[in-house]
Amino acid sequence: MAQPGILERLEILADAAKYDASCASSGTQKRDSRGGRGVGSTEGMGICHAYAPDGRCISLLKLLLTNHCIFDCHYCVNRKSSNVRRAGFTPQEVVDLTLSFYKRNYIEGLFLSSGIVRSSNHTMEQLIEVARTLRETHDFRGYIHLKTIPEADPDLVAQAGLWADRVSINVELPTEAGLLRLAPDKDAGRIEGTMGNLSAAIVDAKDARKHYRKAPRFAPAGQSTQMIVGADGASDAQIVGKASTLYDRFGLRRVYYSAFSPIPDASAVLPLKRPPLLREHRLYQSDWLIRFYGFAPLEVQQATSADGMLPLDIDPKLAWALKFRENFPVDLNRAPREALLRVPGLGTKAVKALLAARRHRTLRLEDVARVTVSLKKLRPFIVTVDWRPTLLTDRSDLRAGLAAPPRQLELFG
Ligand code: SF4
């Protein structure tokens, strides 16, 4: 059957890529084309579609090379047995599209993934071909994020890292049993093996560049992964545990959580409803607690209810504080940074500002009001020179007073 025209294929393959949440360009090296060399810049201004975790506004052309696939992952709209419209690009077409959008300043880079055609190795080779052509033939300086293809040879995955800023492989589901049930063609051991190889190559390349400035770069923006939330029965506690193991073992830059969204002609093994979007948000908050607030994974898991789920009506930091009330109130004038970071409603920037301010004066409630949006949320947990709350252990009404109103929860539902 004849392929649809390029614009129609672009529509199909950009739409097919929207289910992958794992693209953000944090941590990339700065490259630019000033001085008349090369094309593009990782720092350019353009139409922005996404914000990287470092606050930079980025826009990526997010595409699948093809949505044909020989695998049959139940949760995926592009699986072999799905009757979705199919399309594909050649590597050269993706190169041309990327350059043409780039030169018009629509994008700052490319996020390229693919269904699997013919074989994992063949598909991986095609993705590499896109990145290699962009870099070698066109001296492309923009951002490239390549998805690695499950089951592809380690040598090919290693080549991807030579051309891409970031590489990623999706762990997909938090438990091996879930992967076996919902993605029977994928192998948890091989996915983690690939992550291990990538991690070693990233460390080696960084080390080599410390000694030889001209040593080749390898995925300088690191690797990331994505976990689908709510397609299997895994609890939040299990997801938090899995994510922290991945961070520890493979030095991942990010774990992305993607709330499962029901797909057309869904397989009967999938839930009929999507989980509340707020669940995804709570998992991101718990991820931040571990990465930036000094919480151990076990502490976040302790904030879950008996069924292992994080509460939806309050954030995980508040849930932890309410469960471990003996740690409060925290004296903002004396407590160390680690204790301040545990106060619900105080972010890292607010803590930094308070630490700086208390070097020059004794903190009052009004100083706290200046660095936070919700003094009401903080009051029960802090002591300042002019404020001391009732003991938290005596406040049975506290949770109800601090929970998000039902209307706000509905907005995320
Ligand atoms: S391998 Fe990827 S594209 Fe193919 S069915 Fe599985 S998730 Fe979808």
**Would you kindly state where each structural domain of the chain is located, as residue ranges?**
6-26+41-225, 316-402
Task: Please compute the mean of the pLDDT values over residues 22-49 and round it to a whole number.
Answer: 45
pLDDT averaged over the chain? 87
Backbone phi and psi for residue 394, each to the nearest 5 degrees, phi listed first: -95, 5
CA of 149 to the centre of ligand 1 (A): 9
Higher pLDDT, 302 or 37: 302
- The predicted pLDDT at position 24 comes to 46
Instruction: Report residue 66 as tokens.
Output: 């093809």
CA-proximal residue: ligand 1, atom 5 (nearest): 79
- Residue pLDDT, tens place only, 63-120: 999 999 999 999 898 999 988 999 999 999 999 999 999 998 888 899 999 999 999 9
- Average pLDDT on 159-170 reads 94
User: Which residue CA neighbors atom 6 of ligand 1 most closely?
Assistant: 73
- Ligand 1 pocket member 402 (CB < 6 A): no
Determine how many CB atoms are found less than 10 A away from the CB of residue 195.
23
Q: How far from chain centre, in Å, is Cα 223? A: 10
Note whether 113 and 52 are within 8 A (CB).
Answer: no
79 Cβ below 6 A of ligand 1? yes
Category of 36 on φ-ψ map: left (φ > 0), alpha (ψ -120 to 50) or beta: left
| Third-level CATH fold of 6-26+41-225 | TIM Barrel (3.20.20)
Indicate the range of 68-77, 107-116, 201-210, 255-264 predicted with least confidence: 255-264
pLDDT of residue 264: 74
Q: Are 158 and 201 in contact (CB under 8 A)?
A: yes
Q: How far apart are CA 381 and CA 346, in angstroms?
A: 10
Separation CA 401–CA 403 (nearest Å): 6
pLDDT (0 to 100) of residue 35: 47
φ, ψ at 98 (rounded to 5°): -60, -50
Neighbours of 212 (CB within 10 A): 8
Alpha helices in 324-402 (DSSP H): 337-340, 348-358, 365-371, 375-378, 398-402
Phi, psi of 101 (to 5 degrees): -70, -40
Q: What is the pTM of this model?
A: 0.86
Cβ 201 under 6 angstroms from ligand 1? no
Could you tell me if the CB of 73 is within 6 A of ligand 1?
A: yes
Nearest alpha carbon, ligand 1 atom 3: 115
